[in-house]
């Protein structure tokens, strides 16, 4: 178990200090750069807090979309450090299926692909710019 503050909390505190104390004291020509640094720190903080959950959710969504899971035997999760390669491989299979016409309108993959792409886009937006997310009812 890590001591507190953890990495995400440290980034949050440093970002607040940058935004609330340092930024107002900077000359106007350096404010944009400081805001970009603060934004990058916010993204890093959200990624630390989310951990591997977004990649795992995308991996599961792709496996479901591509109908690769056997309901009788759950698929083994990628080993540590292999998730990026696993996602790249699944996305390559998806690209092949799209190029083959499997996702054209009227085909079974069409609606599921749209759902998957929306899911992944919203997940990425939650990390990069959560203020831009659609309002939740």
Which pLDDT score, from 0 to 100, does residue 3 have? 79
At 38, list the tokens. 């603060």
**Does the pLDDT at position 83 exceed 60?**
yes
pLDDT digits (tens, 9 = 90+) for 53-78: 999 999 999 999 999 877 676 778 88
Averaged pLDDT for residues 114-128: 95
pLDDT digits (tens, 9 = 90+) for 30-46: 999 999 999 999 999 99
Which pLDDT score, from 0 to 100, does residue 135 have? 73
CA distance 43 to 67: 32
**Does the pLDDT at position 127 exceed 80?**
yes
At 40, list the tokens. 């990058």
Which pLDDT score, from 0 to 100, does residue 136 have? 62
CB atoms under 10 Å from CB of 109, counted, come to 19
């Amino acid at each position: 178990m890590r001591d507190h503050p953890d990495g995400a909390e440290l980034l949050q505190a440093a970002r607040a200090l940058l935004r609330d104390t340092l930024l107002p004291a900077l000359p106007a020509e350096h404010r944009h750069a400081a805001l970009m640094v603060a934004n990058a720190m916010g993204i890093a903080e959200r990624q630390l807090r989310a951990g591997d959950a977004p990649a795992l959710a995308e991996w599961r969504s792709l496996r479901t979309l591509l109908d690769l899971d056997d309901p009788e035997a759950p698929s083994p999760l990628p080993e540590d450090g292999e998730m990026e390669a696993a996602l790249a491989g699944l996305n390559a299979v998806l690209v092949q299926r799209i190029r083959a016409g499997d996702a054209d309108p009227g085909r079974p993959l069409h609606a599921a692909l749209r759902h998957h792409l929306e899911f992944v886009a919203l997940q990425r937006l939650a990390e990069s710019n959560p203020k831009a997310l659609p309002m939740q009812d």
